[in-house]
A = this chain, B = another copy of it.
Amino acid sequence: MRCLKKASAKEGLELSDAPVPTPNEGEVLVRVTHAGICGTDVHIYNWDRWSQRRIKPPVITGHEFVGVVEEWGSEVDGLQKGQRVSAEGHIACGHCRYCRTGNAHICEKVRIIGIDRDGCFAEYLVVPQENIWPVDERIRNEHAAVFDPLGNAMHTVMSESVAGKTVLITGAGAIGLFAIPIARHMGAEKIIVSEPNESRRAIAEKLSPDLCIDTTKEDMLEVIHREVDPTGVDVLLEMSGHPKGFADGLRACRGGGTAVLLGIPAEPLAIDWAEDVIFKALKIVGVNGRRMFDTWYQSSRFLVQHGKEIDPILTHEFDFKDYEKGFDLLRKGQAGKVLLKV
């Protein structure tokens, strides 16, 4: 089968051939139809510091996908050949305390497809049945392919009630963008987005946030204090991981507010804990992955009901063999979500 491989320890991915994998006991073989390129895939492509420590080539990359069930090993039941499925890419151990208490998303022995084992940038992949997510028939393939990053956004939004609240989203990468319609349908009263990149801001605008701040031209805090609330926003969804977005975002929260953090700072960052956290009784919530499987149920309902609203985020779709175009756009910051048709 065709696949995209990190073949060796250097920049780039390689379009190559590999044998179709065989599902073991409890595993399902899925024929991939659409896959999404994640920021993580771009890191792996770039062979940055994180990738060099984490990835052991050769490995087939990719973890966002939709496909159809092709075959399965023993001890799998309830599936049908041809059934559409996506899958949670975090394969939890099932035995640790986190897994046994409904917190598999922070399993300490987690293995991730496309990182620790072969992923979905291929015609076929195998995943354990526990990870399989049957796709509701009312959800289009292009939407089902992004269950994973949409789920990150869903998990972040659902980590604090946004009902009736003002919500600031710092960073309009794909996950930050998904958070806009999600936050609105989960009850946010006012949504403010901040993003320095023009292309991303243009996509954000199409999702009709109440305010979209160009941080290269305006001071975010000043705008928020003037146009939203002089005491700040109720909830921050930090999606940038960028030192400035991060620090300004915390500063923008009002007393008694909440900051939910998904964006990953590359380096340790200093903040003014006294003023920005302690005196104003801020709550901060770190978010990792997707809750298994609450997030998936929530995302599925959302896509059934409001799926078309994410269309402006799905900016590009390429044939599998043209993957370089997709990676190129993402590396230049000129795309929302890029899909590959396998």
Residues of chain A whose beta carbon lies under 8 Å from any beta carbon of chain B: 25-26, 75, 78, 95, 97-98, 100-103, 105-106, 108, 158, 161-164, 185-187, 189, 231, 246, 255-256, 261-262, 264-266, 268-274, 277-288, 291-294, 296-298, 301-302, 305
Contacts and interface: CB of A to CB of B under 8 A. Distances in A.
Contacts of A186: 163-164, 187
A266 B282 CA distance: 18
Contact of A264 (B26, B274, B297): B274
Nearest to A78: B95
A158 B162 contact: no
6 closest residue pairs by CB, A with B: A102-B102, A187-B187, A270-B270, A284-B284, A163-B186, A277-B286
A272 B268 contact: yes
B297 A106 contact: no
Contacts of A256: 98, 103, 106
Contacts of A296: 100
A97 B231 contact: yes
A100 B293 contact: yes
Contact of A280 (B231, B266, B286): B286
Given A100-B297, A108-B231, 9 more contacts: A101-B297, A102-B102, A102-B103, A161-B163, A163-B186, A164-B298, A281-B288, A283-B284, A284-B285
Nearest to A282: B286
Nearest to A293: B100
B288 A279 contact: yes
B164 A163 contact: no
Contact of A255 (B100, B103, B291, B301): B103
Given A161-B161, A293-B100, A293-B101, A278 B255 contact: no
Contacts of A95: 78
Of A161, A163, A231, A265, most buried by chain B (CB within 10 Å of CB) is A163
A108 B286 contact: no
B187 A163 contact: yes
A67 to B, nearest CB: 20
A237 to B, nearest CB: 13
A286 B163 CA distance: 20
A287 B297 contact: no
Contacts of A158: 163-164
Nearest to A104: B102
A184 B261 CA distance: 27
B189 A305 contact: yes
B271 A268 contact: yes
A118 to B, nearest CB: 22
A73 to B, nearest CB: 11
B187 A255 contact: no
Contact of A265 (B161, B231, B273, B281): B273
Contacts of A269: 270-271, 273
A272 B268 CA distance: 4
A101 B98 contact: no
Contacts of A163: 158, 161-163, 186-187
A262 B278 contact: yes
